[in-house]
Amino acid sequence: MEMVNIKINNTPLSVPNGISILEAARYAGIEIPTLCFLKDINEIGACRICMVEVKGARSLVTACVYPVNEGMEIFTNTEKVRTSRKHTLELILSTHRRNCLSCVRSGNCELQQLCKEFNVQDEEHYSGRMPDFEFDDSAAHMIRDNSKCILCRRCVAACQEQNVAVIGANARGFDTHISSAFDKDLADVSCVSCGQCIVHCPTGALSEKDDTGKVLAAINDPSKFVVVHTAPSIRVTLGEAFGFHIGTNVQGKMVAALRRLGFDKVFDTDFAADLTIVEEANELIERVQNGGVLPMITSCSPGWIKYCEHYYPDQLAHLSTCKSPQQMFGATIKTWYAKTMGLDPANIVVVGIMPCTAKKFETKRNDQAAAGYPDVDIALTTRELARMINSAGIYFPNLPDEEFDNPLGEGTGAAVIFGATGGVMEAALRTAVEKLTGEELQNLDFKEVRGTEGYKEAEYTVGGLTVKVAAVSGLKNAHTIMEKVKNGTADYTFIEVMCCPGGCVNGGGQPVQHAVVRNFVDLKGRRAAALYEADKDLPVRKSHESEAIKRVYAEYFEKPGSHVAHEVLHTSYVPRPKYK
């Protein structure tokens, strides 16, 4: 790698040739502020917050896109630079609705943080006409408030990265705004509800629909039996909302907090992840042995399912018919558990704590009501749970570690890794290989499908069969593999698809991290590593060996793939029109 010698704030530095000033500054321990920049996704130099002085240049330059070269002298904190940044912030605020006290992003807003750092006062320096925008709350999962949008286009870039691209800049000049084509509502375009636009937004312009009020109303209704269950990834992300290091496993404190919020039972979605694997592995084996449609593709990611329905409606037969763990859990609660406990399913409220805004849409899908009532009543994101904990006055860091309620609080190592890309594949292989060979697996780690890469392949010989698998995350990679499936060139037996890059650990409902973290910290890797660590330490690491799973089959579902299992745990899909 060719190195060049530069100076930043009179400090000599040797850095790789051609990297941006923004990246070079990090070598010197200097953080240049940005609002629009997202590494490899949105490198457009649009917000002008990152302006710096370069000796010999006739004007300030944008650090995020300006490359370094030999002998360059850069100044990041001069009066000219600071004045420019402050004026830019004042201009942004001149068309920004400033209800910071009630904004969902207050305290975690990149614009708010910069205004504080540059001493931008609340009075209007550039007064004039304010753009008039209406809320778009048409989608099941989110609200768009363009009065708080700063036109950084990070949401647009995230949507394009997901190969959905249903939003972009409309109109020109002062009237420029982010919207769908012809200003259609989000509900009327092919949005897949993934929420990646939300976690990439630096302000409160985009947020998930807040359903915490519905949950509190249910908890306070004495006629309701309110059950909560938490997805595998939540235990390693919730702590970020309370100052814990990225990747800290806070499972015990999470359970304690949920009990203090007043839920009647606190269960673990890991139980249903194990249930999903047992059903999915059985379905895969049946397809392999009986000439079913292959490759079979996982169905636990609702954003991916909606994408497939919109963009590949002619390939729906490849999808596993298994419901997602969230929906399987609710279906089991309102059938087997209700029968076992003598509860009326009409009075049970099931709440899922999920990493994913698409889960809100999933609760409203057809064919998701095994007991005649919605399998899951309310899906909350990790962020919503954190807000509930804070508003209840619960001091999360000081909580003791508590255990989930049983029997639906039991989960295996195979279930906990569901939150990472490749995790569903590995969990399924642990069960499918044993079922196909009739022999006990000695090595449970299928490391070929681990890692945060967007497209992974592996090949195994199982019971005399050659099984080729793939695990992809992010819809750009889903598009790549689905083109192969559509063209008949995908020689796989089994494919795992996760809607969000890196899997559920990077879901659209997870804690929002500053762009600096997203740009320069392996966020997905740290969160995923904590899940694999949890898997390694659990006494049971194969879904079909779970005692809770054995019990529910013995008492209700009979066997994997049975008639009753299909009635309760499986679902169907519908072609949807493709709108841009």
Q: What is the pLDDT of residues 127-137, one digit of tens each?
A: 778 888 888 99
What pLDDT sits at residue 156? 98
On the question of pLDDT at 163 being above 70, the answer is yes
pLDDT cut 70: percent of the chain above it: 99
Q: Is residue 65 part of a domain?
A: yes
Count, residues in the chain:
580
Give yes or no for a contact between 515 and 321, defined as CB atoms under 8 angstroms apart: no
Tracing tokens 């039996």 back to the chain, one arrives at: 225
Q: Is residue 63 part of a domain?
A: yes
Last residue within a domain, chosen from 192, 207, 222: 207
Q: Read off the pLDDT of residues 465-522 as tens digits, 9 standing for 90 and up.
A: 889 999 999 999 999 999 999 999 999 999 999 999 999 999 999 999 999 999 999 9
pLDDT cut 90: percent of the chain above it: 93
On the question of pLDDT at 543 being above 70, the answer is yes
Q: Is residue 482 part of a domain?
A: no
Last residue within a domain, chosen from 92, 114, 145: 92
Q: Report the CATH number at residue 374.
A: 3.40.50.1780
25 & 134 share domain: no
Confidence of residue 16 (pLDDT cuts 50, 70, 90): very high
180 & 234 share domain: no
292 & 151 share domain: no
Q: Report the CATH number at residue 173.
A: 3.30.70.20
The helix-helix angle for 212-219 and 382-391 (nearest 10°) equals 60
What phi and psi values does residue 208 have, to the nearest 5 degrees? -70, 155
Asked if the peptide bond before residue 407 counts as cis, ω within 30 degrees of 0, the response is yes
Q: Is residue 313 part of a domain?
A: yes
60 & 136 share domain: no
Quickly list DSSP for 154-213.
HHHHHHHHTT----EEES-GGG-EEESGGG--GGGTT-----HHHHH-SSSSEEE---HH
228 & 196 share domain: no
Residue 459 CA neighbour count, 13 Å, CB half: 5
163 & 235 share domain: no
Q: Is residue 478 part of a domain?
A: no
**Domain that includes residue 260, residue range:** 213-421+506-569
- On whether the pTM is more than 0.85, the answer is yes
Give yes or no for a contact between 301 and 424, defined as CB atoms under 8 angstroms apart: no
Last residue within a domain, chosen from 162, 189, 207: 207
Give yes or no for a contact between 387 and 172, defined as CB atoms under 8 angstroms apart: no
41 & 170 share domain: no
179 & 239 share domain: no
On the question of pLDDT at 187 being above 80, the answer is yes
On the question of pLDDT at 214 being above 70, the answer is yes
Residue 197 CA neighbour count, 13 Å, CB half: 32
What pLDDT sits at residue 49? 98
Number of domains in the chain: 3
Q: Is residue 543 part of a domain?
A: yes
What phi and psi values does residue 171 have, to the nearest 5 degrees? 65, -170
384 & 279 share domain: yes
Q: Read off the pLDDT of residues 32-82 as tens digits, 9 standing for 90 and up.
A: 999 999 999 999 999 999 999 999 999 999 999 999 999 999 999 999 999
249 & 202 share domain: no
54 & 32 share domain: yes
First to last CA, the chain: 43
Tracing tokens 């649009």 back to the chain, one arrives at: 46
Q: Is residue 233 part of a domain?
A: yes
Q: Report the CATH number at residue 47.
A: 3.10.20.740
Q: Is residue 499 part of a domain?
A: no
390 & 262 share domain: yes
